[in-house]
Structure 1
């Protein structure tokens, strides 16, 4: 009753209500703050996730660029290596070509210079000298040069010019050089008969020349390509026979055998034509022999 009269209970109820309201407001604010913090965290997470995705995409693109650059660099290095290797092979081939050419040139000059200086083949007739000289020149470095370069003109023409213009060839008629009888051609039979007569006094020289130029053991396919060499060799072989077996004109007989069993051969010749034919037949024959030897051509 007292409380009713004094109003104390009413005040307590009012204070309690105010406290409840204040507590509710505080709770509301705390809940609202918590909600806002959660929203901020979600936004932060979303932004972070987006940035991570962007970073991952950037890393992926960078990796792709690096892979492409690596492939391009690898391809460039491979192409560069191939180019350098190819260039080295070309240079080595060029050096080898120069060495082969230089070796052939030096050997050619050494042999022909010695012949022009009368250091070799001094006691042999001109026809035999030319045949031996051509065989010596075109069975070594010069033949290797022709096989590797496929140049069948340079040394052959040089050889012909050197022999034709040499003082050691002056006795043989030639269309480009005047002789005492002004006849640029001569009979092949007469030239070969003179050759064997020049060696008639020295049977050993004749037999030696006939042995080196012999044709009996040469395969027929080679003889078909060397009619002049066949005729020279056959002339010397017939001339080296005993008197009772030797034909009266070995050169004429040899020319007849060549025409009958090998191929046609001119009855007349001159200095240049004779040397050109000897060189052509000898060089081709030597190359055909060397081409069958892998250890020489490789």
Structure 2
């Protein structure tokens, strides 16, 4: 439509009007179904009775270590949880299209929280379940909402497929698996591996945690392991070893766990990911 130069016309978006009409036409039954789905996909965080007693004040925590994926959780299980005395203090449960088909050994949560008896200010989270996009904000808000963020430092270990890694050089030219780091602006300590190159990005729960820390000015660093295998294996687990200096100041480590411990972790993870179980 021709107009005079400088004339301002009021325009409208047909798409917006159609969306508003759809919302107005939504029946009570549709709204009820939508509410039921939202309730079903809610993230629930449960803490032990001892921890829950202090719900009136945030949980005092100086370091929060989060492992996402079977190799990351296996690394912490073999190198950290196998040494010293650790107790389960909580868990997170959720439902989505991918988590409902995952199997987990009886008594072991797919997202559990552990605290050292000797160093109660260190909290570890082992997460092997899939957290959907619409559940990420819930997870970070509910978990970090229970923790004292003043003086808190966060360490994230995460698994990723090497097919997600973008580089100008052939991936075959680099030894696989390999480690890359990404940190929040508030993190001032040394990073113990190469920094993640652009245009690579982080997705899922690790990205949600790092974004939360960036917004709230919490020092946080992510170590992401790129591997060419899907199932957990000892070689990929040991790729996280450069992160040990970050852990050694906090907890007792088993720098060279026995083969039996590593095999037990791998066997446990394999039983969870078996297609025929």
| TM-score, normalised with respect to structure 2 | 0.27
More strand by share: 2
Ranked by relative contact order (alpha carbons within 8 Å, sequence separation 6 or more), the top structure is 2
- What TM-score, normalized to structure 1? 0.25
